[in-house]
Each structure stands twice: as C-alpha cells, then as structure tokens.
Amino acid sequence: MNNSLSTQIARFATKSLYYEVAISPKPGLVDRFDNGAHKDMDFFTFINSIESLAPHFQKYLQLGFQHNADLTSLFDELRQEGIKAEKDMLLATNNVNTHKGANFSFAVLLGATGFHMKTHSLPFSPADSQTVLNLVAQMTQDLAQQDFYQVTQKKQLTHGEKLYIETGTLGVRGEAAKGYPALTNLLLPFLREHAKQESTEILLLRSLILLMSQLEDSNLLHRGGISGWQEVKQEAFTIHQAKLSKTAFKQTLENFNQKLIEKNLSPGGAADLLSLGIYFGFLENIL
C-alpha cells in the first residue's frame, strides 16, 4: 500500500472521530453546543484526544498491511501499539478517558483494513466492509475469555470488568469478537440507504438515535444500570419511529439532551459505534 493511500485511510478514521464529536445536538454527549452529561471533558478535550490518536491510526494500518502470520498475533501487535496510543491520549486530555473504547475499535478495524488492502483497493464495496469485520471477529474471538479470566480475583477493576461481573456484558470486546453486528445489521444498511437523502449532520444524528434505540450500551449500563439504559433505549426508539422533520427532530434531541444531563446518562457506546460506521461510510464513498 503506497503512502498516500495509507495516509488517506488513516485520515478517514481520524475524520470519523471529528464528525462524531461535531454533530449537534447529541443527547447526553459532548458536542459543539455543550458537554452533555460529562463534567470532565468538552469539545476541545475531544480535539486534543483525536490529534493524539491520529499518528497511531497510521501505525495500526501499517501493522495490518505488513502482517503475514495468523490474526491472533496481529491482535497482539495492535494491542501493544494501542497501549502507547492510550498513554498519548491520557497525556493530551489530562487523564480524561475520551476515546478508550474507540481507540480499541479503530486499532482492530484499521489493522484488519490494512490486512485486507493487500489484495483490494478503494472504494470498498459492502462485501469489503463485511470482510474487514469478519477479520476483526477472527482476530478477537478469544479476547473476552482471556481478558475476563479470573477477573473476580482482581483487586482493582476497570469499568468494563465491573460491568462484566455485575451484568455479564462483554462491552467492546464482545462487539469486536462478534464482528460488530450492530454495524452489519443496523448502522451500515441505514447509512447506505439514506446517505443521499439528508444533510450529513441530520443523517448522522438519526443514525445515532437508531443505535441508541437498539444497542446494549455499556456506558449507559455503567451510569444508569439496566433501568437507565432501558429508559434511554425506549425513548430513542420512540424518536426513531416518529420520523420527525429536521426542525422537530433537532428540537426533540435538545429536550432529550436536557433529560439525560439531569440523569447523568451518556450513550458513549452508541457514539463510538457511530464513529466506526462513519469510517466505513468514507471507505465505501457514501459520505
């Protein structure tokens, strides 16, 4: 893969994170207008975070393209680079976790994209996108089992480990091991069908609400328990079904945002997944 192509694909990943934070208003999430249910981060924290991750995105892609052994050993290489990326992110954000989940997902997706690009070129077809997601599933199939093995004996637990013990939720590791089914079954078909019908911002806000209406969101589970997550899911489903006009839709999102701020709820899992869908939207040239 030549330099200009690898730069372009890595930029798609960076740009997806910029698009995700920029669309507004987003219920409970950081956007251009406010910080949602987050007291420790704002729009500029996200910009600093994205800038710190960008050089690593190129590295993930190169690791995948250069890899000739089995996919499990590719994951080990990506994870080592991912740890460096996370350190850079925390340095750039004064220790605020802005993109931990997104960094993990982009590490495996870019690694799989690089691996796939040995024999393919841009733009991607839907079949290319599916192949990349299948590669991710192969790469991470045993990850949750390995990472959560003997987790109950640990003294200090991450949010993901606590959630696993409390609810059995596998979070982003589980999503990756299944090849991100919400992308395949929900988000990418929606983007492909509606991309030409609406402005980018409205399209992506509607996509976010669709995800919120269906996804098992570990961020919501962490902050609001099962009842908080179910409540957000139900309201998002109602909004999605209503097929509101652009003006009514934005007004409804503003009201929803206020509600989630008051309840300290943030659908960060849906936001991360949206950025992954945007990335494939760029690869398939539909955005």
Q: What is the pLDDT of residues 71-87, one digit of tens each?
A: 999 999 999 999 999 99
Is residue 243's pLDDT more than 50? Answer: yes
Is residue 167's pLDDT more than 60? Answer: no
**Whole-angstrom Cα Rg for the chain:** 18
Average per-residue pLDDT for the chain: 92
User: pLDDT tens, 190-233?
Assistant: 999 999 999 999 999 999 999 999 999 988 988 999 999 999 99
- C-beta of residue 217 within 8 angstroms of C-beta of residue 265: no
Percent of the chain with pLDDT over 90: 83
| Spatial separation of the C-alpha atoms in residues 225 and 281, rounded to whole Å | 32
Section 249-256 average pLDDT: 98
- C-beta of residue 265 within 8 angstroms of C-beta of residue 225: no
- Sorting pLDDT into bands at 50, 70 and 90, what band is 166? low
**Which pLDDT score, from 0 to 100, does residue 148 have?**
47
**3-state SS, residue 82:** helix
User: pLDDT tens, 3-47?
Assistant: 999 999 999 999 999 999 999 999 999 999 999 999 999 999 999
Closest CA to 49 of 86, 12, 82, 10: 86
Is residue 165's pLDDT more than 60? Answer: no
**3-state SS, residue 136:** helix
- C-beta of residue 106 within 8 angstroms of C-beta of residue 87: no
**Residue environment code for 201-237, b if the CB has 16+ CB neighbours within 10 A, otherwise e:** eebbbbbbbbbbbbbbbbbbbbbbeeebbebbbebbe
Q: Tell which wins on pLDDT, 143 or 255.
A: 255
pTM of the prediction?
Answer: 0.93
Closest CA to 276 of 168, 194, 191, 198: 191
